[in-house]
Copies of this chain bind each other. A is one copy, B any other.
Amino acid sequence: MDKLFFMNDYGEGAHPLVMQRLMETNLEHTCGYGMDAYSLRAADVIRKKIGKPDAAVHMMTGGTSANMIALAAFMRPYEAVVAAASGHINVHETGAVEASGHKVLPAESRDGKVLPEGVRAVCALHTDEHMVHPRVLYISQATEVGTVYSLNELKALREVCDECGLILFVDGARLGSALMSRECDMTLADLANLADCFYIGGTKNGLLFGEAMVIVNPALQKDFRYMIKNRGGMMAKGRLCGVMFLAALEHDDYFAWARHANAMADIIRAGMERGGVPFFQRTTTNQVFPIVTLEQEKALAERFAFERWGLLDGGRVAIRFVTSWATTEADAAALAAALEAMRA
């Protein structure tokens, strides 16, 4: 009776393993504000995984909070962050970055991915003190439209950052899905080698909430806990994130969950291909973007929960299906069949 759920990946709860750990540890007494043993161990696990013993790791409560706090920490008042026009910080954070006093400078992008020459162009335009000074390059891996930067693409951005004096900051709200994508040729360690700072998103991959901020560059680490508290992002029961990230990362379940989500999306994509349903955006992660007619959209909406992404011309729409650790093969197959059946 209920519709099959492909609305988003944060409409799910936490993975049962995560819930179990929260239950098991619920009656323990710990110190607050993220200084507990679980948070410290989770941080250690991350540092080991990326081979950066000096990285600073902080547990954040959510994506917008993580973005706005990191950017506010890294920039002086007149400095600006370069991002894709479609970037989450530019569109979907209700001006949180500007509320911290900083301009977002849109750079040319393709398939949701910022282009090195786009960054260069923005920097070339901002030459004197009558304009903001570009200081951070913000990208997300995966991007807003579910695409993935390749290792070479990331290296090219690192280069342009070095050239222009930019910090490279990577929003990893969907980092699991990106890294587990079959087209992805980079590891978590690669990311840590190239980015000054990134985070591992928990909210959209198996946790109740939480993003693990990893500040690789020592020059950016100073007093970050002050910044978290100053912007209302420090949880009293900080151990929650610690417990959850430890559960997710200790034995790499986090990546298995993401791989599963991608596999479910692959099933849907295969259905589309068999049905000849065009892609609004080709992806290999947990977001799938078909183009359908208004009638097809209506028919799909009777059985499946999903989101309209945009109105196209010719009575067509782009729609979005999102999978997660919780998506079942049966559900994915049902959706794939429905899409395949659209073949005229």
A-side residues, CB < 8 A to B, are 2, 5, 7-8, 10-14, 16, 19, 22-23, 25-33, 61-65, 68-69, 72-73, 76-78, 80, 91-96, 98-104, 129-133, 203-204, 208-209, 223, 225-237, 240, 305, 326
Contact = CB atoms under 8 A, between A and B. Distances in A.
Contacts of A29: 2, 5, 7, 11-12, 305
A96 B229 contact: yes
Nearest to A132: B95
Given A235-B209, A326-B27, A95 B91 contact: no
Given A61-B235, A78-B94, 8 more contacts: A5-B29, A14-B26, A62-B234, A68-B231, A78-B226, A78-B229, A132-B230, A209-B240
A230 B95 contact: yes
Q: How many copies of this protein are present in the complex?
A: 4
Contacts of A226: 76, 78, 94, 129, 133
B23 A229 contact: no
A23 B28 contact: no
Most buried by B among A8, A10, A95, A233: A95
A91 B127 CA distance: 11
A94 to B, nearest CB: 4
B64 A227 contact: no
Label chain A's interface by main secondary structure.
Answer: loop
A233 B236 contact: no
B236 A62 contact: yes
Nearest to A8: B32
Nearest to A10: B236
A71 to B, nearest CB: 11
A102 B98 contact: yes
Contacts of A133: 223, 226
Nearest 9 pairs of A and B residues by beta carbon: A65-B232, A13-B26, A10-B236, A78-B226, A94-B229, A95-B132, A78-B230, A129-B225, A5-B29
18 contacts: A5-B29, A7-B31, A11-B31, A13-B26, A16-B26, A23-B23, A64-B232, A69-B232, A72-B77, A77-B99, A93-B130, A94-B129, A95-B103, A101-B101, A129-B229, A130-B229, A209-B237, A231-B231
Contact of A94 (B73, B130, B240): B130
A13 B25 contact: yes
A61 B101 CA distance: 22
A283 to B, nearest CB: 20
